[in-house]
Amino acid sequence: MTKEKIGFYRLLLENELFECVIPFWENHSIDEKNGGYYNCLDRDGSVYDTRKHIWLQGRQAWMFSKLFESDQKSQWLEIAYEGVKFLTNNAVREDGRVYFSLTEDGRPIYMQRKIFSECFYVMALAGYANASGESKYQKMAELQLAKIWDWSEDLTKVGRPVYEGEIAAQSLAIPMILLNLIEEVTHGDYSRYNAEVDRCIDRILLHVDRQRQVVFETVTPDGGYINNSDGRVLNPGHAIEAGWFLQNWAQKKQDAELAETAAKMVRWSYSKGWDKEYGGIFYFLDYEGYSPLQLEWDMKLWWPHCEAMVAHLQNVKLFGLKEDWDSFTEVTDYSFTHFSDKVFGEWYGYTNRRGEITHRFKGGPYKGCFHVPRALFYCWQMLGELEKTV
């Protein structure tokens, strides 16, 4: 981990972010007629579907708000506002529920029985409030967060049915996204949310099996192991992301034990998920070694690799271990080799196990202006800090 190596990766990520990734979304995604962003973009940026997916609208508005905070370019704040305006005008029902998808001019298409569209709507509001200084969006974010918290405690309130034969279970996704959301809404002062933060941390830790050295996606409400296909599922990328979310709070709380647990979540999940034959991170695994039910289980997707870049570099910054640096360079080199498009910019999202591109588009219902630029942005910042200390 020499100063030269750190500088090499800092410059690599800086160029990728500001010359290849952000310009792709600036040039192709903005809907100048209706507001908001086109999400479904082909390899060259052509719009192949005009439907707008709300969690991607929110993520993109948040991303451009973060960029503006770093470098006060007025066009980035304007792009963020286009998303926030489209969302506030069209995405929210009177009861506070947020649609999953809209037409390009803002008419509802689909509503999920989940809370994730609402979560990324709040991220957009909070991010834009912090970047612009407009307090009304901060108040809107806080009010919406209160509703989301209530729904998260009882998903029947968003239409999720409960069946007689169900095994009582909890998902990793909810406490980790809520923990991240509180971080975005509070902007460093989380004193009003102490109880909620502790509740999210406790729920995440229920998924961490220290004896088995894995992070399960689904456990019983008291953290018990569920020995069926759902309970045995490992999603290495998701567990890695949960690890760096948790690490952020370990640092805020100055909790050394929590920091060590968060670091282990990343290392265990990466070691378990890395394909030793072809490279890259498996999408899903079965803990007992059975074939995962998900047909795409052995595909390599862009976002787990993005999360691993952030998480490993965060570990490097905190612990200075060679193993974390080696993992960071390994996953970064793999990502640039297999996902980065040097012709049209941005990253492909999907490859098969061997790393061959399976889908040429750059944006779809589940891939937008978020994981790639967020990872590049955070890693670029951390590398800049590391470069000054080596």
Q: 309-332: per-residue pLDDT in tens? A: 999 999 999 999 999 999 999 999
Question: pLDDT (tens digit, 9 = 90+) per residue, 1-39?
Answer: 899 999 999 999 999 999 999 999 999 999 999 999 999
Average pLDDT over residues 381-387: 97
* Res 104: pLDDT: 98
pLDDT tier at 276, thresholds 50, 70, 90: very high
Cβ-contact 178, 149 below 8 angstroms: yes
Question: pLDDT (tens digit, 9 = 90+) per residue, 193-249?
Answer: 999 999 999 999 999 999 999 999 999 999 999 999 999 999 999 999 999 999 999
CATH class of 1-29+168-390: mainly alpha
Mean pLDDT of the chain: 97
Q: Where are the domains of the chain?
A: 1-29+168-390, 40-161
* Res 313: pLDDT: 98
Alpha helices per DSSP H over the chain? 3-15, 22-28, 54-70, 74-90, 116-132, 135-153, 173-186, 194-205, 236-253, 256-273, 302-319, 322-338, 371-389
Integer Cα distance of 4 and 387 in angstroms: 8
* Res 1: pLDDT: 85
pTM here is: 0.97
Residue 295 confidence (pLDDT) above 90: yes
Integer Cα distance of 177 and 152 in angstroms: 11
Residue 289 confidence (pLDDT) above 90: yes
What is the DSSP pairing of strand 108-110 with strand 52-53? unpaired
* Res 40: pLDDT: 98
* pLDDT over 70, % of the chain: 100
